A and B are shown apart, each in its own frame.
Chain A
Amino acid sequence: QLTQSPSSLSASLGDRVTITCRASQGISDYLAWYQQKPGNSPKLLIYDASTLQSGVPTRFSGSGSGTEFTLTISSLQPEDVATYYCHRYNTAPPLTFGGGTKVEI
């Protein structure tokens, strides 16, 4: 099970934003983060907890291992308004996602 916090947040342009994902048991670094903009499908941002997917802006970063992980946006931009989901893998299904964090300006 993955628990994300907060479920929503509001921040100003240029702010540093941090989202947390906690796993109910240790999952090493087998965690991915997705961004879902309104009306769109999810997009992969980060995998293996901290590896940035090709083409993703470097203001996004991920960290953590074991049971606690964070997604950080170093300087919030208007195009970052979205819902962010974490996802654990490297195990047979069921596939598990966090409940999502909605980021607003």
Chain B
Amino acid sequence: QVQLVESGGGVVKPGGSLRLSCATSGFSFSDFFMTWIRQAPGKGLEWVAYISATTNVFYYGDSAQGRFTISRDSATNSLYLQMNSLRVEDTAIYYCARVRGRYSFIDFWGQGTLVTVSS
């Protein structure tokens, strides 16, 4: 079955960096668009970044533009999110998610990894 397992979250000071990973299994990773969605404590869902199946198309939300980089590795079936210049307002649970088709809906979500930005 489809599995998405995030890791790499933790506590970091403002201005610091973190790299989130998402290990995938149960499907042909290279065939699917993937995305990162975050959820601040007690808040709704906020889209962060999106990557095409072939890695040549990327999109970023306003909050991520210029600071975050999404990438993928088909050799290891993994998705990544490099986060630099972190701010207190980046504190959230970060979910890795699979997109069913090109610009389609999200059909599977990971369990999430918590990122806390605090001095």
Contacts and interface: CB of A to CB of B under 8 A. Distances in A.
Nearest to A97: B45
A43 B111 CA distance: 10
A44 B108 contact: yes
Given A93-B50, A94-B61, A95-B35, A44 B45 contact: no
B104 A89 contact: yes
A29 B47 CA distance: 21
A91 B101 CA distance: 11
Interface string B93-119: 001000010011111111110000000
B106 A87 contact: yes
Interface of B: 35, 37, 44-47, 50, 59, 61-62, 95, 100, 103-112
A19 interface: no
B105 A44 contact: yes
Given A42-B109, A95-B50, A85 B103 contact: no
Interface residues of A, number: 24
A92 B104 CA distance: 9
B17 to A, nearest CB: 23
B105 A87 contact: yes
A-side binding surface: helix, strand, loop or mixed? Answer: loop
A84 B42 CA distance: 14
B109 A41 contact: yes
Contact of A43 (B35, B37, B105, B109): B109
A30 to B, nearest CB: 8
Contact of A41 (B50, B61, B95, B107): B95
Contacts of A97: 44-47
A40 B106 CA distance: 16
7 contacts: A40-B111, A42-B45, A42-B106, A85-B44, A89-B104, A94-B61, A97-B46
